[in-house]
Structure 1
Amino acid sequence: MDEGRNYQAIVIGVSAGGMAALERILPKLSRGFPLPVLIVQHIGAVADSYLPIHFSMRCELPVYEAEDKQPIEAGVIYFAPPNYHLMVERQHTLALSTEDRVNFSRPAVDVLFETAADAFGPGLVGVVLTGSNGDGAVGMVRIRQRGGLLVVQTPESAEAPQMPEAVLEHTEVDRLLPLDEIGNFLNSLSEK
């Protein structure tokens, strides 16, 4: 399913239990990992920029809060800022928006996934982790329609299984993996 494919980017959507889940994935990405990683973690509108600071101390890759019109660079982890949707433009730059909430969230996973699917097509890897609503399911359908790879955390390994379950109800996935196997799987996608 993923043999010989040329991947260009990874998008990750996560909500309740996300900090602990990301701690088991992002630090496993090896130095020199060639793909950008764009993340929507549901956070409060007035949250600070703690996530990029926290993970920059734990990851070998550079970690940033996404900025509007920023070019997407290989081997960089980007977090959606509080109270902004994170989107990918066709020129592979980031865009931020204060449009209405989607699935009661801003940032919303579906917004990132749908725009990234349109920008990267079959070169996109979508990952849905723990979360307590259905955000991400519609976006994963779009990634599937554009030929991307779908990876979902097993509901039984998720602190909140609703987001993984919603994806499984909406579309077929390529990999259904326990949390502790996802980081190594992502590393394997970049190995020739």
Structure 2
Amino acid sequence: MSGEREDLWQALLRSGEAVVTDEDYEHGYKREVRQDLQQYVTFRVSGEVYGLPIHEIEEISKVFQTTHVPRTADFLLGIGNVRGRIMPVIDLARRLRLRPVERGRAARVLIVHFNDEPYGLVVDEVIDVIRIPPEAMEDKPGGLTGARAEYIRALGRTGKDLVIILHLPALLDAKDFVKATVYEEGRA
């Protein structure tokens, strides 16, 4: 031990204060957790890392069979049934207008609730649950334009990495779920 660190250690021992070590943490001693840290579920879609607040996700499921619904947007895979609950299932890559990749065994469905209705969001893989302090969150850049800009709530920094935090209400805007008919396109 360096002299300064050893002196601090010895001073703590002499003071009668309990000294907490890494071993104590391994055996159940509780670390102080910052209460202002927001938890996010991170996932990959077409090679990019995205996140949603953990409180917006009810469940993570393996990919399940869906039934196609005619005249719906291409990002709507169909409707699915999870334990008796019927829900629209959305291909998040298509919704974000990304190049879809072939889904592997790691693909999952994030089951979310919006306006008291369940929805399934298909992602390439779920990565982790992370904590991001408020000071590491950035508003989406003002110059960000294009199709995906409306779906982005913020950017979160975790070390050197950046997580794109999605805006669930924009992703699940029901008016986008139905294809425009030839009649409606002609009137516009």
- The bucket for the TM-score relative to the shorter chain is under 0.3
- Larger strand fraction of residues: 2
Q: TM-score, normalization: structure 1? A: 0.22
Structure 1 or 2: larger helix share?
A: 1
Greater C-alpha Rg: 2
